[in-house]
Amino acid sequence: MELLDGKKVKLEILEDLKKELSNYERKLGLVVIEVGDDPASLVYVGQKAKMASELDYNFNHIKLDENVSEEEILKIIDELNNDDMVDGILVQMPLPKHLDAKKIQNSIDPYKDVDGLSDVNAGKLMHGVDTLIPCTPYGVMDILKYYNIDVEGKHVVIVGRSDLVGKPLASLMTNNNATVTVCHSKTKDLIKHTKEADILIAAVGKKGLITGDMIKENAVVIDVGINRVDGKLYGDVDFETAKEKVSFITPVPGGVGQMTVAELAKNVVKAYTLRKDNR
């Protein structure tokens, strides 16, 4: 069994980006809009600020009261869409219940949508058009690439169908010639599907859902789940029973979670490039 070390991959990605950015004529701009006081969001925004500082991005954290109106947020996004010094715009999730998250995400210029969550970018991804990809699926692909795990011709089973991970990952895998099965809460006989996976990806947010007896011998297992229980982080895969079966596995913490911020950093560069090329 070999651990797929997300931290190692992340540091190499950031190092390569630093070299690339030294040739740019200006600093790239990233704006994060945060609404309310969700404690997890505060941590994630902090990680993004740290990354932006390391890469010398112009970073703007717009913090709004949780009672802010949708009109106010849309007005701010419209101004940022029209600001040429802003390359990436991200609205930190989750949003308070009175706000329409989809409407807000879709109001971001698709060329600045560094979360890759707008309908335009989701459609482009599905059609295999070069576009901005959600950071977590992007991170999964980069970890596999780094460790020379080819997905072509492999049976990839994804447990979870969220817009953030499962669906975009299914498109990415299909675009890279994998055979893909997507499982979810309504799937009958989950174990039948997981045991057929050459590459098994768990992304549901349920601690220890996937156990060793559900995994094919020598499979590659990617654990996207981050579940906080009694102050400790656990994945969707029961690591202790899984490690006996797998050839490669991502740990939690230290696996896919590490990659998300690195992919955001890459998406800011990609957003800048795509916008420049499409003028």
Supply the CATH number for residue 191's domain: 3.40.50.720
Query: 57 is in which domain, residue-wise?
Result: 24-109
- Tell me what pLDDT residue 194 has: 98
Are residue 49 and residue 101 in the same domain, yes or no? yes
Are residue 91 and residue 178 in the same domain, yes or no? no
What 3-state class would DSSP assign to 239? helix
The radius of gyration of the chain from alpha carbons, rounded to an integer in Å, stands at 19
Are residue 44 and residue 155 in the same domain, yes or no? no
Domain annotation covers residue 3? no
Domain annotation covers residue 273? no
Are residue 250 and residue 153 in the same domain, yes or no? yes
Query: What average pLDDT values come out for the chain (279 residues) when binned by 10 residues?
Result: 97 96 96 94 93 97 97 98 98 96 98 97 96 97 98 98 96 98 97 98 97 98 94 95 97 95 98 92
Phi, psi at residue 164, to the nearest 5°? Answer: -80, -35
**DSSP character at residue 31:** E
| Catalytic machinery residues | 48, 92, 115
- Tell me what pLDDT residue 279 has: 76
Are residue 143 and residue 102 in the same domain, yes or no? no
Number of structural domains (the chain) is: 2
CB contact at 8 A, 155 and 197: yes
Are residue 96 and residue 152 in the same domain, yes or no? no
Domain annotation covers residue 10? no
Domain annotation covers residue 262? no
Q: Is the pTM of this model over 0.75?
A: yes
